[in-house]
């Protein structure tokens, strides 16, 4: 099953620059990732102008008010497969093109996960842990789709229908009157 996630590019300071490292930059008003095509002679100047290199991490974003609901589910060494969607049966290595398309969408993507049920005998509860599905030690990600929202939309439509019924019963115009003079 796929679930919502967010691709976040995190800076790091390497001991030396190497060909292929990723950097973020602005292009036509958009934040884009690009790879280092050559190793510059003056590394400090290059980093001063272009910033530090970045690595991709994938986070599951949960409720910000609940501890441990937002967590890193994939580190750079795990990010590797891209699923082009229903029109293709193949997985392929993710490229800068897919990374930039995801960044253009605010970093929102989907990652293939499974649920592991963990039994905590002391608490006498069953915990569900979300873990990434690994294929040759790499995760599969794809562009964000609307399929994740279909169940929520059906729930919202039912709620809106109930709300409309309630509004029809109280078909009065209400005005707000303040008791305070300012």
Residues 144 and 109 sit within 8 Å (Cβ to Cβ): yes
For 28: left if phi > 0, alpha if psi spans -120 to 50, otherwise beta; the answer is: left
Neighbours of 27 (CB within 10 A): 9
- Overall pTM > 0.85: no
pLDDT score, position 178: 35
Indicate the pLDDT class of residue 30, thresholds 50, 70 and 90. Answer: confident
- Whether 163 has a pLDDT exceeding 90, the answer reads no
Name which residue leads in pLDDT, 76 or 125: 76
pLDDT score, position 66: 74
- Whether 172 has a pLDDT exceeding 70, the answer reads no
* pLDDT, tens only, 133-146: 999 999 999 999 87
């Amino acid at each position: 099953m796929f679930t919502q996630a967010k691709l976040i590019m995190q800076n790091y300071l390497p001991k030396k620059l190497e060909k292929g490292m990723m950097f973020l930059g602005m292009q036509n008003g958009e934040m884009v990732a690009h790879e280092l095509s050559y190793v510059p002679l003056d590394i400090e100047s290059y980093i001063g102008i272009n910033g530090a290199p970045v690595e991709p991490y994938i986070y599951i974003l949960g409720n910000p008010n609940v501890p441990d609901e937002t967590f890193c589910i994939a580190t750079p060494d795990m990010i590797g497969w891209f699923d082009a969607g229903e029109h293709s049966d193949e997985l392929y290595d993710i490229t800068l093109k897919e990374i930039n398309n995801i960044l253009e969408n605010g970093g929102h993507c989907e990652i293939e996960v499974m649920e592991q049920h963990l039994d905590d005998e002391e608490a006498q509860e069953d915990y569900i842990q979300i873990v990434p599905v690994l294929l040759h030690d790499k995760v599969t990600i794809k562009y964000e789709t609307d399929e994740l929202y279909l169940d929520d939309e059906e729930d919202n439509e039912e709620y809106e229908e109930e709300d409309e019924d309630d509004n029809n019963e109280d078909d009065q115009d209400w005005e707000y009157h303040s008791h305070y003079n300012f």
